[in-house]
Amino acid sequence: WSINPEAVKACRKWDQLVAICLVFTCIVTPYEVGFLEGDANQTLFVINRLVDLVFTIDMGLQFFLQYQINTDKGVVYVTSLREIARNYLRGWFAIDLVSVVPVDTVVGSFVAGGSKLRVLKVVRALRLLKLVRILRASRLLKRWQSNFGFSQQKLALVHFLGLLVISGHWLACLWGL
């Protein structure tokens, strides 16, 4: 039982939710590291855990999503769950796993009260591991390009504009450190 991401409309909606979570992570995580002290904002903590949940569910979903391969007969979808799992484990799994583990929360819970101040900067920097999630955007863009028929020039322009805006944001947040 595997899922063809182009045939199932729910996959498109799921991709949109993942894209929203990617944008949230891309904007909020550097801001948290650069400007927020500790875990003062409980609402932001809850939202971050919900985003972690979305990415964790997406990791599980990747074990069932068919992927395309080019053959002599054209483009073919791999439907074997064993091959799908093998491809995912050899490719994106390690990156996804690193990005899903809430390292800042885990490390923060093991640090004693007095030594917590010394380790605070390290814990804040560990939050930046969430930014590895942005690598998922390439998978989404590849699927969207085939679904919506974006020209390569438009996709390159949007990609460059996004990189420009995000780089400016990240540099501003880095300045806040």
Tens-place pLDDT, residues 46-70: 998 899 999 999 999 999 999 989 8
Render pLDDT for 30-47 as a digit per residue (tens, 0 to 9). 888 888 776 567 888 899
Q: What share of the chain is helix, strand, coil (3-state, %, to 5)?
A: 75, 5, 20
* Arithmetic mean of pLDDT, 128-154: 72
Tokens of 42: 């409980």
Q: Is the pLDDT confidence value at 96 over 90?
A: no
Give whole-number Cα distances, 83 to 11, 16, 64, in Å: 20, 26, 10
Residue 93's identity, in one-letter code, is F
**Model confidence, pTM:** 0.78
More confident residue, 85 or 144: 85
Q: What is the pLDDT of residue 1?
A: 83
Q: Taking a C-beta distance cutoff of 8 angstroms, is the pair 54, 18 a contact?
A: yes
Q: Taking a C-beta distance cutoff of 8 angstroms, is the pair 149, 137 a contact?
A: no
Q: What is the pLDDT of residue 88?
A: 94
